[in-house]
Amino acid sequence: MASLAGTQIDKYEMIEEVGHGGMAVVYRGLDRVLKREVAVKVLHPHLANRKESRLRLEREAIAVAKLRHENILEIFDYSGPEAEASYIVTEFIHGVTLKDWVDERLDPRPAVAALIVHRLCQALQHAHRTGIVHRDIKPENVMIRNDGVLKLMDFGIAQIIDNQKLTLTGQLIGSPAYMAPELISGRPLDQRTDLFSLGILLYQLATGQLPFSGRNPHEVLNRIADGDYPPAATICPLVDRDLEDIIALALASDPDERYQSVETFGDDLRRYLEEVGVEPTNAELGRYFREPQAYVVELDERVCTALTERAKVAAEEGDTARAIRQLGRVLELDASHAGATELLARLRLRERRNRRVLMAVTGLAVMGAVLLLARLVQDDELSKDTRLVGTGISRAAARDDAAVGSSGSTGPGEGVEPSADGTSTALATVASSGTVADDTRGTDDTGDDGGAEPASSGGDRINKRKNPVTPPPQTPQTTSCRLVFTGIALPTAQNLAIRVGTQTHGIEQMEMDVTFEGPSTTVRVSDNRYSGYRLVSSADCEAGPVVLEIKPRPARVKFEGPPDDAVVVCMAGCLPSLIEVNQTAKTFRAVPIVDGTVQPVKLVLKHKDFEPIAIEEDLVPGPQTLRVSMVPRKP
C-alpha cells in the first residue's frame, strides 16, 4: 500500500505515517477545520473491500465513542460504512507503547507492575460497565503519554455485549501470548477474558518474562489451555507470595475460578500497593515513566521502609511468620538493610527462646503429671489406712506389713509431702531450681539474651534478672474452615493433594476441616491431571462450608512413533473447532475431558511416507503418551 503521507482525506491532512499493523495504517494528521493534531487510522485497501473488516472498524468506532476515561484513547470521528476510505480519527498521543518500554527500559519491580495494571483496571472498569470487552489486552495496545499517563487503545476486536448479545465466531484474533483459554477454544466470552490478559501483563511486568512461552504459537496456546506456567517468584525473587496469589487468581484457566470482576482485581492490587506505601494514581505513574531509574531507587527505599514498619507491627501482634515474610521481601531489595536485619535477628532469637520455653514447660507438665499420679497413689494409701482403722487394724501395723511385703522398699509417696496450700513440695523445688528461669529470662533492645547476674540460688537469679517476666507472644488470627470437594469421585480425589496456603494435605473424604492463619488464604489442587483454585477468607468459612470444585485438566497427548510432522486429524471427541482440522503430531492440541475421567477420541494419522492409521483411544486428564506404529508406504 502506497503511503498516504502528504495527501488529504476529507478534512484530514495526512502528515506522516507513525505506525501500521495487519489491519490498518496510522498517520499523524491535522484536522483542518478544528486546527488540532489527530491520529487517523486508515484500513488497508484490500481489507476495506471486505464487509467483515469494515464492520470491525465500525465496531471499534461505536465502542470507543461510548467511552470517556482519562486512560482510554478518545475517538473524534469515523468515516462511516459507505465512505470510499474507511478510517477512524482519535486523539494523537505523543509517547511510546508499553511494548517499547518493556523491551527497552523495564527494570522489573512488583510494585511498578501492580501500579501499571491497577491503572489499566480503572480503564477496563469503565469499559466493562458500558458492556464492552476489549479482548486484545497487550503492551502494544497501551500507549505511554509523555507525561506518564497510560492510554488503552485499539478496541478493534472488542465484543459489545448489548441487548442483541452480539458475538463473534471463535476465530483467533489477537496475540497468542496474551489470549485467554476461552478465546482460544471458542467458548463464550465475557469481562473475565480481559482479566486473564491483564494477569499475563502483570506477570510480565513483575518478572520481565511472559508466563506462557514456546517455540511456536501452537505450543504457547497449548500451555495457556493447560495453565502451564512457572511461578513468578522462580523468575524474579522480588515477587512475594501476596502478588503470586493475585497472579494465580487472574490466570486461572477456568473463568469461574478467576477474578469475577475487574473491580475486585483492582481492589487487590490497591491493597497490595498500600502495604508498600505506594498510591495508585496517574501522578505516581508519571513520576515512574519520567525518571524510571531515580524512581526505582526511591521506590525500593520506600518499600523497604513500609515493609519493615509493617513487620514490626506484625511482630508486636505475635504474627511472627508474616513479619519474617515481609522482612524477607525487604532483604531481597536491600540485603544489608539495617532495620530489617536487626528485627529479623530479634525475631529469630524470640523464636529460639519460645522453643526453649516450650520445651521447659513441656518438661514441667510431664513432671507435674508424675507428681499428680504420685499424689493420687498417696491418697489411695490414706484411703486404705482409713479403711484399716475402720476394721480395727492400726496404721503402723499396716505400714509394717507393706514394708515386709515389698522387701523393705518405701511406699510410693515418699519424698512427696503436700505443702500448706495442697501442692507438692517436689513441684515447688522444680519451679525454684532455676532451670526455667534460665530459658525464659528477658532480653534488652539489642537482642542480647544475657545480662542476668549469677546467683547462688534459683530464687536470687529470678529476683535479679533484668526482665523478670517475658510476655507470651500473641497468637495470630487462626481460622477453622470446612472444605467440600465437588466435580470428581472420592477414589479420584484420594489420589490428590491440596495446598492450603503453604500447608499440603491429602484428601481422604469429600469434606475435610483445615485451619489457616491470617484473614485469607489460597486453596488449590496442585496436580498435572486435575485443577482447582479458590481464594478463601475468614468470612467465607464463617458463612458455612467452602466448596472447591476440582476439574480435570485437558488431555495432553505426546505421540511416540510417528514423525513430528505426521498429520493428526481428530474425527470425534475434540473441540468442535478442531474436528477434521489438520494438526501435526508435535503440535496436537489438548483435548478437554468432558465427563471428568476419560474422553473417547477418534483420530487419523497421516504422513506422505506411511500408510494412514485410525486410532480410537480413551484419553485421561493431563499428559499421556500414545505409542503408534506406522507402516511405510509400499514403493
Q: Which three cell numbers stand for residue 69?
A: 476515561
Rg (the chain; Cα; Å):
35
- C-alpha pair distances (Å), 333 with each of 88, 230, 276, 310: 46, 22, 13, 16
- Treating both helix axes as pointing N-terminal to C-terminal, what angle do 338-391 and 395-405 enclose, rounded to 10 degrees? 110
Check residue 384 and report its DSSP letter: H
Beta bridge partners of 535: 522
Q: Using CB atoms within 10 Å of the CB of residue 629, give its burial: 0 to 12 exposed, 13 to 18 middle, 19+ buried.
A: exposed
Q: Cβ(518)–Cβ(314) under 8 Å? A: no
Burial 370-394 (b: 16+ CB within 10 A, else e): ebeebbeebeebeeebeebeeeeee
Strands 478-486 and 546-549: parallel
Q: How many Å separate Cα 180 from the centre of its chain?
A: 17
The grid coordinates of residue 209 equal 518474562
Q: What angle do CA 498, 500, 505 make, to 5 degrees?
A: 45
Query: What does DSSP assign to residue 170?
Result: S
Grid cell of 536 as nine digits: 478463601
Q: Round to whole Å and give the CA distance between 530 and 532.
A: 7
Return the bridge partners of 503, or none: 500
- Give the span between the Cα atoms of 508 and 483, in whole angstroms: 12
Q: Single out the catalytic residue among 77, 136, 240, 439.
A: 136
Cα dihedral: 80, 82, 84, 90 (round 10):
10
The grid coordinates listed for 427 are 513441684
Distance from C-alpha of 586 to C-alpha of 623, rounded to nearest angstrom = 14
Cell of 136: 486484545
Contact 499, 464 (CB under 8 A): no
Phi first, then psi: give them for residue 132, nearest 5 degrees. Answer: -115, 125
Contact predicate 479/540, CB 8 Å: no
Residue 240 has phi, psi (to 5 degrees) of: -100, 175
Question: Considering all CA atoms of the chain, what is the largest pairwise distance in Å, rounded to the nearest integer?
Answer: 131
Nearest to 63 by CA among 158, 143, 167: 158
In sign, the C-alpha dihedral spanning 421, 423, 425, 429 is negative
Distances (CA, A) of 178 to 252, 266, 578: 13, 19, 21
Contact 102, 205 (CB under 8 A): yes
- Is 380 known to be catalytic? no
Query: Residue 187 pairs with which residues in a beta bridge?
Result: none
Amino acid present at 170: G
Residues forming the active site: 136
